Amino acid sequence: MLRALMTPDAPLEIAVLGDVHGHLTLAYRLLGRWQRETGRALDLILQVGDLGAFPPPFRLDRATKRFAESDPDELGFAVYHEGGPEPDAFFGPDAPADRRIAADTVFIRGNHEDFEFLDEAGAGSDAPVPVDAREKILYLPNGGRFTFGRGPHRITIGGLGGISDGGRPGRDPVSEHYTAAEVRKLRSRGERIDVLLSHEPPHGAAAAIHPRYDDGGSRDVLDLLRDLRPRYHFAGHYHEPGQPLAATGDTQSYQLNAVSFLKPHRLNPGCIGILRWAGPEESSFALLDAPWLGEYTRSNYRYL
């Protein structure tokens, strides 16, 4: 059950995270700092896939296994799945007020997750399901959607995680690829959604991220943007600086960077954004670019 924060009738405060790859503690440290700096509490956190949902027994793909050898935080989800002092510092009943993250995190799958685990967790559900000990991290199965609200404000969010298979939907729903049935499921209700989360950016827009992605991106995501006409669209996957993407109609589309450090002393630019929502015509989104982000490094982020 998603729990909205009981605050006055101010706009919803929604954080959007790029690929996390297990770096949940880094993400929550940064979001806690944002709350302290702004004096505003988050209502909801959205994440665009590659959360790094690998609980024990750690069925890792080759890339994750390789990166985890030099960066153990790649396996950081396990601590949240099992519970303990690290997640309790944000979610526990005794979490200090200046660290507490009261908002739930809702994520879609990427192409680096334990797909068997997520398939079992999300079986039979179209809504977010909890996958951690504190029930604060929730998985939105492909084709699912949900409505979140606080006070007079409501926002509807749909998700298509995973990536295409050579430009087409895949056939195995327990894999890194989305399927044609999942695309149809998201489209079938015919209702406009406010936010579309996808792991892969839309075809055509990917070339603007970097020329090497000239033929990259998902045609199915592009079609969903045209058909569902969301007010906002967020994607990740490419680990490139966060930036707006070309989109159709009045949709605002964004690529977010990975929540990590490409260089040990520099947080990846554009890895977090803040959506303020009081309705489709009373909303704004901005990638986080505050000076205090420069204080964080790979070696000190747990202590700030």
Domains, the chain, ranges and CATH? 12-303 (3.60.21.10)
pLDDT in tens, 30-71: 999 999 999 999 999 999 999 999 999 999 999 999 999 999
When comparing pLDDT for 262 and 131, which is higher? 131
Residue 297, pLDDT above cutoff 70: yes
pLDDT in tens, 200-226: 999 988 777 878 877 788 999 999 999
Say how far apart CA 254 and CA 35 lie, in whole Å. 22
Q: What is the pTM of this model?
A: 0.96
Residue 3, pLDDT above cutoff 60: no
Distances from the Cα of 276 to the Cαs of 4, 15, 67, 129, in angstroms? 14, 9, 34, 24
Distances from the Cα of 59 to the Cαs of 34, 54, 258, in angstroms? 34, 7, 22
